Structure 1
């Protein structure tokens, strides 16, 4: 399903929920508990609203993360946004595990920090980084990156996924390898990667991790987003295939093609699929 279609459905549901909450004198913003985790949510935002609906935000990804995350491990949440998966990962790694969460936009990073503060037991397992992961620490940070999906009528949204770009004023450019050299205390076991077309930027700065640690990836595959950033599926594959990685369906564990042309046919224009990328050992 295309992202725009998902947003259209969410907007229709939000109109119903907002009307019902308004009749009861309840605003769109507030504290909500879902699956034992407390969030501060703005129901006019797509990710927040999906969490409000009972953990429906990328639930198949959540199932895959639960299957693949090892207790006491180090996992990375790259493109953490407001923490929908970050807090889930913190619960999965347990008290002896660690999560490193990366989010470049001021808008989402502040919401991420707030949601971690609301869950101190889980938040203590998470280290946050407001940075744009790329080839090196001196690369220019894009002035704005998509991290908001409003459910109210607005102008200036992305024509395909209906997101809004948000400022990155406080973000630093870092390579993932340099961050890990400074802060990692163990091998990276799993990476959740969802950065709306900037995947190749992240991987350019992660060559040592890919070569030496070879963690499992749970990631979004959106060819149109890659192309918008001047990248391609061919480039994405060039980081994985030489390091022994193969692509698999998110839940079915069926192996997918490892050529760009074949993968391209699996994803409609304006759509994305989440996949598991795992190295053959």
Structure 2
């Protein structure tokens, strides 16, 4: 009888990250690689937002990123707060829900939908389509921060959020989609009565949870922006206003 040794690169079934347990996922994705190696993802984003999020608040995250930041959000708002996560990609949605369940986060609500300017159906690829809804149709009783992680979704999502933005005036934190789309995305936010500042965080955090010194993201940054209602008290004077 012959035996077959396990592949050397087989990942551990669970990763212990900065904000909780994460189930192992395919490591060819940049977020998964960061979670596996560093025990965190884009920690400089949470460093900025941690000074803005309070217990009891309601947050909306668009794009689950394997619950990398959802876990932090759930702890930040506490048991009296809520985190709503929109993830339209089926397998990514299943992974998101698994990680929420593993960490027993009963203040997180997941939505397997695409956010658009009008309700309908959205084709993701040749094998998969998903229901499209507006942010307004979620009918959130409160919203203090909207965090957008998915590229090429911001403009249409905000077009379907006009009543929500008018009523609740949340902060917006967005990953800009690239050179060609960024100008339109910033203009869209400003047209809604917001001021917008640049935030360019490095992906590598030298103070990462695992204490790993090897930087697999040398010089790589996110092109992000943070926005606040023009009539609010928020100021980000240490950042470039766009």
TM norm. shorter chain > 0.5: yes
Matching residue of 1:240 = 189
Normalised TM-score (structure 2): 0.77
Distance in 2 separating the partners of 1:106 and 1:48: 16
User: Which of 143, 151, 157 is the aligned partner of 2:124?
Assistant: 143
User: How far apart in 1 are the matches of 2:39 and 2:156?
Assistant: 29
Counterpart-to-counterpart distance in 2, 1:136 and 1:199: 14
Q: 1:112 to 1:240 in 2, by over 3 A?
A: same
SS of the equivalent of 1:278 reads: strand
2:15 alignment partner, one of 10, 32, 37: 32
Give per-residue Cα distances to partners, 1:175-230, cap 9 Å, x unaligned.
Answer: 00111x2xx23x21011111111211211111112222211111111334xx4xxx
Mapped pair 1:175 → 2:139: no
1:60–1:250 CA contact under 8 A, matched in 2: no
Instruction: Give the corresponding residue for 2:94.
Output: 110
Q: Secondary structure at the match of 2:191?
A: helix
Q: Distance in 1 between matches of 2:185 and 2:30?
A: 27
Contact 2:176/2:185 (8 A) holds in 1: no
Contact 1:246 1:277 in 2 (8 A): yes
Kept in 2: contact 1:65–1:89 (CA 8 A): no
In the TM superposition, structure 1's runs of 4+ consecutive aligned residues that sit over 4 Å from their partners are none
Aligned counterpart in structure 2 of residue 86 of structure 1, from 52, 65, 70: 70
The 3 A distance-change label for structure 1 pair 48 and 234 is closer
Paired position in structure 2 for 1:161? none
Call closer, same or farther: CA 1:274–1:235 in 2, change over 3 Å: closer
Question: Deviation at 1:29?
Answer: 4.9
Deviation for aligned residue 1:49: 1.6
Shift of 1:137: 1.3
CA contact (8 A) 1:72 1:96 kept: yes
**Number of residues of Structure 1 aligned to a counterpart in Structure 2:** 207
Do residues 58 (structure 1) and 39 (structure 2) align?
no
TM-score (norm 1): 0.67
Matched, 1:216 2:171: yes
User: What CA deviation, in whole Å up to 9, does each residue of 1:120-176 have, x standing for no partner?
Assistant: 1xx2010000000001112x30223xxxxxxxxxxxxxxxxxxxxx9644x311000
Greater helix share, structure number: 1
- Name structure 2 gaps, 5 residues minimum: 1-5, 202-219, 233-242
CA distance, structure 2, for counterparts of residue 205 and residue 189 of structure 1: 17
Task: After superposition, give the CA deviation of every residue in 1:1-38 in whole Å (9 maximum; x if it has no partner).
Answer: xxxxxxxxxxxxxxxxxxxx965xx6225111112500
Take 1:211 and 1:223, find their aligned partners in 2: how far apart are those partners?
27
SS of residue matched to 1:128: strand
Report SS of the residue matched to 1:68. coil
Cα distance change of structure 1 residues 234 and 216 upon mapping to structure 2, 3 Å threshold: same
- Calculate the aligned-residue CA RMSD, in Å: 2.5
CA separation of 1:44 and 1:237: change in aligned 2, threshold 3 A: closer
